[in-house]
Structure 1
Amino acid sequence: MAQGAPAPAAATDATAVNPNEIIVTARRRNETLQSTPVAITAINAAMLANKATVNIGDLQGAAPNLLITQQNSGGQAANLSIRGLTYADIEKSQEPTVGVVVDGVFIGTNTGQLLDFFDIDQIEVLRGPQGTLFGRNTIGGVINIRRTKPTMRTGIKAEGTYSSFNSWAARGVVNVGDGESFGVKGFYFHNQSDGFYHNAITGKRSGGSNNENFGASAIFKPAGSGFEALLTLEKQDQTFEVTNSNIANSSELFCLFEPARECNRNNTSDLYTVFTSPGTSRYSAPSATLELNYQAGGVKLTSITGYRKSKEFQTQDFDASSTDLYYTLRQQNYRQFSQELRASGNLFSGFDYVIGGYYFSSRYHLQQWSRIFGFNTALDPRVADSDSQIVDGRNKSYAAFGDFNWAFADKFRLSFGGRYTHDTKELSNAFATRGLIGSGKKSFNKFTPKVGVDFRPDSNTMVYASWSRGYRSGGFSPRAGEARTANLPYNPETVDSYEVGTKLDLLDHKLQFNVAAFYSKYQGLQQNTTIPCLVCVTGNQTITSNVGSANIKGLEFDASARPVDGLRLTATMGLLRSKFKKFIAGNTLTVFDPIAPTVPVTVIRNFDYSANNPIYSPKFSASVGAEYKVPTNFGSVVANVGYRYIGPYDQQISLGPLTGNTGFVSNGGSVIVNGNDARVRSDKQGLLDASLTGNFKLAGANAYLTVFGRNLADDRGTSAAFTVAGLWSFASAREPRTVGVTLGFKY
């Protein structure tokens, strides 16, 4: 290894040189946060507990340019965005742009990502493409979650919480073991709520939920063998009342049939009064993870096997009104299997590596019944729709990867690597009566390299620069409604990201200050567009296509300070500028001739969305927080307060004001879309959270009592909004002011 300043080589848990250092595994190695040349925010268990964190959604604002909103069209579903790259949908044939990795296993869909935070060891938010080590479909970044391992000692941790909207939770973890080589951990988490919406039709609360997550982990670690096996079996169960807010206006067809008070409503306070017919979602997802590690001399061998399946049953009143216009029932079955093998170590002094192979497969089945203009809420959609839509999909992926660090000169290190991925996608679209309308199968191959260099003039300073390429696989449109669109594949999209940054550890380790600037070129942009479809039972179809490119640039700040004992200050800031360079969606429509209304006419219309804002890309976001711990004669008191600001952002690529060729002229000029529909724009958010925790002894156990408040300023608005082809529009609301209390103990 080159001599000079301490090299940023791999660390172990035992090598932290000061109590403020955080060990991360962002690059499949144990390294200190400040020596890792990646834009990363690490959040440990204590930080989560002191903030009274509930699930992954509470991370929003904890890292620069990170957005997380709940997707109410699927069980435990999340919309994730990092640096303006997102996928806001729940279809199983299309993968997220931000990867969620739990104990080394990639979750292949948006559903199942809203995890409970009670048993979490650490969370790492990696910003920018992470294709080399985490694979395709991580072009925005990765949220890497590591849960606690069995302690191999007898112990219990349990807590109960009660909060606004008759919400309560009970959580418990029990550990047993021999203290050296074997241990078992059992866990059970439960939370439920009446929901924060008010249904004006029934006069009751709406949006209630009941969530359970339970399972067990076993660890086997024979002394002196260098071997460790960790097996986790668990299951997620969720039942919730699917609730949509009506944001349709007089320009849309459905408002002609709805009571006047239910249309033309605002996108803030009105969202919390709803008129929907009851909808129910049931989600069940068992899973298994087996991690094996073996230290064979200087080489560490790792195997991670993951299996997950889910069943979903969901009814939903999409028109969000008291008039029965569009009500669906969706049943889905999904399963995934993954296997990763890795080897890591030092090839020679100053040169370390991680190499491996990866296999992933998934398959899913969807059947949807739609009750269109039924005007009868008692009629089962399975009776109303004899021609239900059926979608079957399969996906197989193989990859080989390598990631290397070389300290090639005094104080300099070169990081480089790459991943080769081969994907095969299959999808078929059919209707129960009409039969198969289209199917397709296509393979995609991509090599995604990365290279970076970092410079450490001293042990407290690092400057780095990198280039990496991210890749998101192609596929087929799962909501296509006719043969032409069902058979047509879309191609992969790629992101080339250029980043420079610095990490500073100052004032005798009391201040960590990190800055990153990036520029991303987005090619082969995949986007969903919803268009009319005369042969579709729903009257419209959503197709995915490669529509152009985009440029994204930004600046990020992430700071943590401990100016005096017991006080910790944090701050983040993200600046984003994203713009479509070219976004042309060519749609072939079948419409009726306005002069001869009974005559169908094929019209080719190009929609130019280049002036629209990319979604989930606020220009400015920031957070500040303070945590102060005071010793007392009974234990300690911890006060925590945080403020998160998120600027306005759009939530859907949609049709705003139109100019150009807006008539039905075959092969005419483009329709110019001058921005997204104003109703899909979230207003600016100012979210104030606070908690106060008292730690004390209770019957020999360490106990704690926490009083907390989330969104104390009661900032209200949309968490998701959607418009549908000039027919109707709906939204979901973010959580209003919530206060509560938690009592827990551990020993």
Structure 2
Amino acid sequence: MKIINFRRQLLLTTFASSMAIAMSAPAQAADASTQANDSNQIQDIIVSARRRNETLQQTPIAMTAIVASQLESKASVSIADIQGTAPNLLITQQVTGGAAANISIRGLSFADIEKSFDPTVAVVVDGAFIGTSTGQLLDFFDIDSIEVLRGPQGNLFGRNTIGGVINIKRSRPKEELGGKFEMEYGSFNTMSERGVLHVPLVKDKLFAKVFAFHTQTDGFYKYYTDRSPRGGGNNTNFGASFLYKASEDFDALLTLEKQVSEQDNVVSNISGTGEVFCLFAAVPGECNRNTTKDLYTVFADPGQARYSSPAATLEMNWNAGLVKLTSLTNYRESKDSSYEDVDSFAEPFYKVDRHSKYRQISQELRASGQFAENFDFVVGGYFFDSKYTLNQKTSLFGGDFYQSQITHGTSQSVAAFGDFNWEFLPKLRLNFGGRVTHDKKGLDTSAPDGAGVFTDFGWNHKSWTKFTPKVSLDYRPTHDLMVYGSWSQGYRSGGFSGRGLDQVSATTPFNPEKVNSFEAGVKAELFDRRLTLNLAGFYVKYKDIQETITKSGGSTGNITIVENAASAKVKGIEADFTARPIDGLTVRGSLGYLHNRFSGFTNKEAWSITDGDDNVLDSGLHIYDYSGVNMIYAPKITASVSFEYKYELGNDHQVRLNGGYRYIGAYDQQVSRDARIPTIQDNGTTVLTSNDPRVRANKQSLLDASLSYILPTGGGETRITVFGRNLLDNRGPATAFTVAGLWSFATAREPRVYGVQVGYKF
């Protein structure tokens, strides 16, 4: 009954909002006739969220579009800087993986660097899907646009998009000589140099773009004895793109690139009384620390993480008259190594030395066109293949490293999809389609068995096939208003746990996740296109959730694996707007509200008591009911408001002032029982109402500002920008994790940062 009431309220709210806006449309239309040439109107943003070029306001999807000028004016550094800008969007950095990101949209997330797991939110760069969370934390200098698509996008973007898609487009080679260059210096001795150069090679036929970005920093952590910096590193991206235009009907774009990074692998200890590692703490203050300011002091010298990833992408487009054909081929590989002192104590008790190799190949073929003036389509096929190897060694309690794991994994996916737009009545349009996907996963793990003998648990594989449909209906009573409603299904492939370290956990597959998503929304342009307002409400039924669970076993004593642990219901409301109230001033804002609830979420752990001869004296089963805890990376409220003001000084000199405030509510980062609390039910069910409080990220109030001076220089323009991020110095965890009964650790968010940029473009 509650579900029915919520859907009814959602539809009534959307309908009422639509009618209120529609009633004002005639007056606005009259104003438009007299102010059609107003330069202060908000310009159309062209997006490709449905593999077509259409305006943002005419696309029946809840999405936020971010253009290059917004990123430049905010002095944005990476994809993480857009979190909070779009409703119900959260992005944090996972420091234990190369350029890895934890991304959550509408509370649907998966935070892990293991290559055996697929992301919940897809990051797509120039049309190519990045198959793992490593490599998703991208530099923002050479970006044309970013589209944040919220909700399942399995129809056109693939199986692992049940939360949504971040669709990133970089600049294409230009037909005229041009470029832009930038240098930056900021807090923690952070230095960056970035450059992009466009060069025509053969007139009207062949054009090139070369780019290189480099950033290095000392890091914002402090060592506990002398306060020297920790957490430093450097990151380099470089490459070239070549655009060949054989004719007006055919072009080909080849991009060759590589990313290389090295960084201190820093984690902060948050272990507490009752956990094993606190029995060995050597320095006062190592245990029972808070999860805010204490995180920025570390006790161990960090290990090193290295990441190298070359990639190649080839896009070909052929306009064959009635149909446009597109081929997108992508190859990406990576090598990453990570030496981690996980407990972060002055005396190391748990160290890990990880080395992994990964490669992916994907091929997509699409055809798009029109059957008739009121009927267009996109159809295609997709192929994806990946494989990886993980070699891990472990040291426990200060002992020598031993071989703890060698894992080989494979993944193949084949899909066919179609998407159709039919305006069957004037102003009324039906969008429908679907995707059929066949996935196959394989895994082979070798690890010490219960007797300490290194054992191959055998090669295992499993396949899944799923059809995911989508249907939406939109109505456009005027050019400035659209109302829509949609139903879609999402699917994320099953697989095997790459962290499984015994016979059962390494060979038992987990099944796919599935979502049913209902959405209704309204998009409007008001006050002679000086205000755009987009509203959406959604309800999601989430089944067979792939949840990370820690169990006892394996050579390390604990195994972190993935199981289909629960179902959940997620509902919420989203709004974003852009306004230009006066000449030179642009104001943007967003608001997201999220409510979620697990159901049927239990975890079972066997226990036993033995004597000195390993004879079992007593045994039983601990059953933990997690149905009352929070979903991870799902803040209840996200909100933002920002402005950009441009003031012309004359003679093409300009001042730009930018400011923004983002609020992100508190959220949990792991489904985790607080191991410091003794279990009451040895042979029954213990009901948990919250996760371990140490894995809860405190609420964030993030204030950013920048001031730029732009002046003409030598046929181009020079920009000088001073900026500050997180001016309120809001501190807390970026990630946090506990291993029941043993230890707990976290990484910290970036504190207050100041800096200056000098850029030139022509």
TM-score by structure 2 length? Answer: 0.92
What's the counterpart of residue 73 of structure 1? Answer: 96
Asked if the contact 1:701–1:746 (Cα under 8 Å) also holds between the matched residues in 2, the reply is yes
Which letter does structure 2 place at the counterpart of 1:406? W
Task: For residue 112 of structure 1, give the secondary structure of its aligned residue in structure 2.
Answer: coil
Name the count of aligned residue pairs: 718
Shift of 1:351: 0.6
1:548 to 566, 569, 591: 566
What's the counterpart of residue 162 of structure 2? Answer: 139
The aligned runs of 1:201-350 (5 Å cut-off) are 201=225, 203-224=227-248, 226-258=249-281, 259-350=283-374
Q: Work out the CA distance in 2 between the residues paired with 1:660 and 1:233.
A: 55
Task: For residue 402 of structure 2, give the secondary structure of its aligned residue in structure 1.
Answer: coil
Shift of 1:179: 5.3
Which letter does structure 2 place at the counterpart of 1:324? P
Deviates more, 1:456-465 or 1:148-157: 148-157
Which letter does structure 1 place at the counterpart of 2:378? V
What's the counterpart of residue 396 of structure 1? Answer: 412
The aligned runs of 1:70-219 (5 Å cut-off) are 70-177=93-200, 178=202, 180-201=204-225, 203-219=227-243
Which letter does structure 2 place at the counterpart of 1:625? S
Q: Work out the CA distance in 2 between the residues paired with 1:698 and 1:17.
A: 27
Q: Work out the CA distance in 1 between the residues paired with 2:678 and 2:670.
A: 22
| CA gap 1:638/1:107 in 2 versus in 1, 3 angstroms | same
Given the alignment of the two structures, is residue 525 of structure 1 paired with residue 540 of structure 2, yes or no? no
Shift of 1:234: 0.1
Shift of 1:92: 0.3
Which letter does structure 1 place at the counterpart of 2:410? R
What's the counterpart of residue 579 of structure 2? Answer: 561
Asked if the contact 2:172–2:241 (Cα under 8 Å) also holds between the matched residues in 1, the reply is yes
What's the counterpart of residue 653 of structure 1? Answer: 671
Task: For residue 58 of structure 1, give the secondary structure of its aligned residue in structure 2.
Answer: helix
1:34 to 57, 71, 94: 57
Which letter does structure 1 place at the counterpart of 2:221? Y
The aligned runs of 1:657-696 (5 Å cut-off) are 662=680, 664=682, 668-696=683-711
Asked if the contact 2:447–2:502 (Cα under 8 Å) also holds between the matched residues in 1, the reply is no
Asked if the contact 2:299–2:346 (Cα under 8 Å) also holds between the matched residues in 1, the reply is yes
| CA gap 1:46/1:487 in 2 versus in 1, 3 angstroms | same
Given the alignment of the two structures, is residue 717 of structure 1 paired with residue 732 of structure 2, yes or no? yes
1:465 to 475, 480, 485: 485
What's the counterpart of residue 68 of structure 2? Answer: 45
Task: For residue 221 of structure 1, give the secondary structure of its aligned residue in structure 2.
Answer: strand
Shift of 1:672: 2.1
What's the counterpart of residue 370 of structure 1? Answer: 394
Shift of 1:508: 1.1
| CA gap 1:657/1:204 in 2 versus in 1, 3 angstroms | closer
2:385 to 335, 339, 361: 361
What's the counterpart of residue 592 of structure 2? Answer: 574
Q: Work out the CA distance in 1 between the residues paired with 2:123 and 2:739.
A: 29
| CA gap 1:287/1:51 in 2 versus in 1, 3 angstroms | same
Q: Deviations over 1:624-644 (max 9, x none)?
A: 001000111251111100000
Shift of 1:260: 3.2
1:480 to 475, 500, 521: 500
Q: Work out the CA distance in 2 between the residues paired with 1:239 and 1:601.
A: 50
Q: Deviations over 1:77-128 (max 9, x none)?
A: 0000000000111000101100000000000000001111100000000000
Which letter does structure 1 place at the counterpart of 2:78? N
Q: Deviations over 1:373-418 (max 9, x none)?
A: 016xxxxxxxx23333111100000000000110011211001110
Asked if the contact 2:622–2:681 (Cα under 8 Å) also holds between the matched residues in 1, the reply is no
Shift of 1:204: 1.6
Task: For residue 314 of structure 1, give the secondary structure of its aligned residue in structure 2.
Answer: strand
Shift of 1:598: 4.7
What's the counterpart of residue 430 of structure 1? Answer: 446
Q: Work out the CA distance in 1 between the residues paired with 2:483 and 2:646.
A: 33
Which letter does structure 2 place at the counterpart of 1:703? T
Shift of 1:270: 0.7
Asked if the contact 2:273–2:676 (Cα under 8 Å) also holds between the matched residues in 1, the reply is no
Which letter does structure 1 place at the counterpart of 2:616? V
Q: Work out the CA distance in 2 between the residues paired with 1:69 and 1:241.
A: 17
Task: For residue 111 of structure 1, give the secondary structure of its aligned residue in structure 2.
Answer: coil
Shift of 1:606: 2.9
Q: Deviations over 1:305-355 (max 9, x none)?
A: 000000011101100111110011000000000000000011112111000
Q: Deviations over 1:130-170 (max 9, x none)?
A: 00000011000000000000002111211100000000100
Which letter does structure 2 place at the counterpart of 1:114? L
Q: Work out the CA distance in 2 between the residues paired with 1:325 and 1:593.
A: 25
Q: Work out the CA distance in 1 between the residues paired with 2:628 and 2:438.
A: 35
Task: For residue 214 of structure 1, give the secondary structure of its aligned residue in structure 2.
Answer: strand
Which letter does structure 2 place at the counterpart of 1:247? I
Asked if the contact 2:587–2:642 (Cα under 8 Å) also holds between the matched residues in 1, the reply is yes
Q: Work out the CA distance in 2 between the residues paired with 1:218 and 1:275.
A: 48
Q: Work out the CA distance in 2 between the residues paired with 1:72 and 1:201.
A: 23
Which letter does structure 2 place at the counterpart of 1:499? E
| CA gap 1:600/1:490 in 2 versus in 1, 3 angstroms | farther
What's the counterpart of residue 497 of structure 1? Answer: 517
Which letter does structure 2 place at the counterpart of 1:574? G
Which letter does structure 2 place at the counterpart of 1:556? E
2:646 to 629, 632, 641: 629
| CA gap 1:55/1:660 in 2 versus in 1, 3 angstroms | closer
Asked if the contact 1:201–1:322 (Cα under 8 Å) also holds between the matched residues in 2, the reply is no
Which letter does structure 2 place at the counterpart of 1:607? Y
Q: Work out the CA distance in 2 between the residues paired with 1:103 and 1:610.
A: 40
Q: Work out the CA distance in 1 between the residues paired with 2:597 and 2:260.
A: 40
Which letter does structure 1 place at the counterpart of 2:589? A
Given the alignment of the two structures, is residue 612 of structure 1 paired with residue 612 of structure 2, yes or no? no
Shift of 1:505: 0.7
Given the alignment of the two structures, is residue 416 of structure 1 paired with residue 432 of structure 2, yes or no? yes
Shift of 1:591: 4.1
Task: For residue 311 of structure 2, give the secondary structure of its aligned residue in structure 1.
Answer: strand
What's the counterpart of residue 55 of structure 1? Answer: 78
Asked if the contact 1:186–1:216 (Cα under 8 Å) also holds between the matched residues in 2, the reply is yes
Q: Work out the CA distance in 1 between the residues paired with 2:258 and 2:115.
A: 19
Unaligned runs of 5+ in 1: 6-15, 376-383
Q: Work out the CA distance in 1 between the residues paired with 2:446 and 2:675.
A: 35
- Percent identity at matched positions? 53
Q: Work out the CA distance in 2 between the residues paired with 1:45 and 1:157.
A: 13
Q: Work out the CA distance in 2 between the residues paired with 1:611 and 1:127.
A: 26
| CA gap 1:459/1:649 in 2 versus in 1, 3 angstroms | same
Which letter does structure 2 place at the counterpart of 1:552? V
Asked if the contact 1:657–1:675 (Cα under 8 Å) also holds between the matched residues in 2, the reply is no
Which letter does structure 2 place at the counterpart of 1:621? T
Asked if the contact 2:42–2:530 (Cα under 8 Å) also holds between the matched residues in 1, the reply is no
Q: Work out the CA distance in 1 between the residues paired with 2:419 and 2:240.
A: 33
Given the alignment of the two structures, is residue 744 of structure 1 paired with residue 759 of structure 2, yes or no? yes
Which letter does structure 2 place at the counterpart of 1:705? I
Q: Work out the CA distance in 2 between the residues paired with 1:396 and 1:302.
A: 22
Q: Work out the CA distance in 2 between the residues paired with 1:660 and 1:323.
A: 27
